[in-house]
Amino acid sequence: MNLRDCATEGLSYEAPWWLPGGNLQTLWAALGSRRHFGPAPRWQRSRWNTPDGDFIDVDHAQHASAAQAPLLVLFHGLEGSSGSHYAMAFADFAAAHGLAFAVPHFRGCSGELNHAPRAYHSGDFAEIDWVLARFAQENPGRPLLAVGVSLGGNALLRWAGEAGETARARVRAVAAVCSPLDLAAGGHAIGRGFNRQVYTRVFLSTMVPKALKKLEQHPGLFDRAALLAARDLYEFDNLFTAPLHGFRNTDDYWARASAKPVLHRIRVPALALNALNDPFVPATSLPTAQDTGPCVTLWQPPRGGHVGFPSAAGRWGVPGHVRTMPEAVGRWLVAHTA
């Protein structure tokens, strides 16, 4: 059966009446929502040495799971971590359904600066491949599932497209949540208007200090004064992200790292979830069925914001929680372990 025939079964979302619009749905989810129904996730951290002499930190959720239960791996978004609201919500889903769960941190995102003269970026499919290979090696009895959020989702689908048929040797299924699969469209959107004044400032408030610490590690790596003058992600990527990771400039980085051009090459079950009112990801930039192959399911609900999808709770629907999206995405992934 073609995956498209039944792939959207059980995928639905309705925003609470008191949270209209993509910005409110985004901000409430990140700042005011309930992230878990059970106990707060407990983590055990392990450090993995990378092939290039650097390291990443991996947080493993410490709830119980059967030895043969699936392992769900979450790749976080820009400046995210295991403490992000969506990571905690997915950990809660995994605990409720008996799945093992882990969050590998991109370099520099675990609270400790990495060693190498590099950080992380939206198209680092080689890093994704290495991480998934290690998870598969360390968990031979567990079906492996992977979900990426925003930046992490683009990198994950980019990996799946690059890997083609070989992806099946690593994972049973993958999902991307609110990912800017056309990085140029997303990058320009976040650099305008309200997005620039709010979201861009939040991201740069942590990205710039980490970049400056990287410069202390590796003097001469980039122009300090120019970086301090950067006012949007385009300028930051032009000075830091692109040159440190082998791209000519921001335009080259956004073009070569985007997952949208390789979606048709994916040969493992893949879900791409994007709300049509996402402030970061213009609806006009989202992939259509013509951009994908038979293994890719597109779920594009009208509401949800950017990694928001808050849901009503309580007698009057207040306060809200963010378990609905992990529940739907997680169940979709688990359905492909059979």
Nearest-angstrom CA–CA distance, 163 and 156: 10
Contact 158, 262 (CB under 8 A): yes
Q: Tokens for 63? A: 């709830």
Nearest-angstrom CA–CA distance, 227 and 203: 14
**Residue 44 to residues 192, 216, 248, Cα–Cα distance (Å):** 39, 30, 38
DSSP strand E in 157-250: where?
173-177
Rg of the chain's alpha carbons, rounded to an integer?
Answer: 19
Using DSSP's 3-state secondary structure scheme, residue 322 falls into: coil
DSSP strand E in 203-329: where?
270-273, 296-299
Using DSSP's 3-state secondary structure scheme, residue 293 falls into: coil
Amino acid at 28: W
Spatial CA neighbour of 295 closest among 324, 260, 323, 264: 264
- With a CB cutoff of 8 Å and minimum separation 6, the contacts of 304 are 13, 15, 22, 25, 178, 275, 277, 278, 325
Catalytic residues: 150, 278, 306
Nearest-angstrom CA–CA distance, 207 and 14: 33
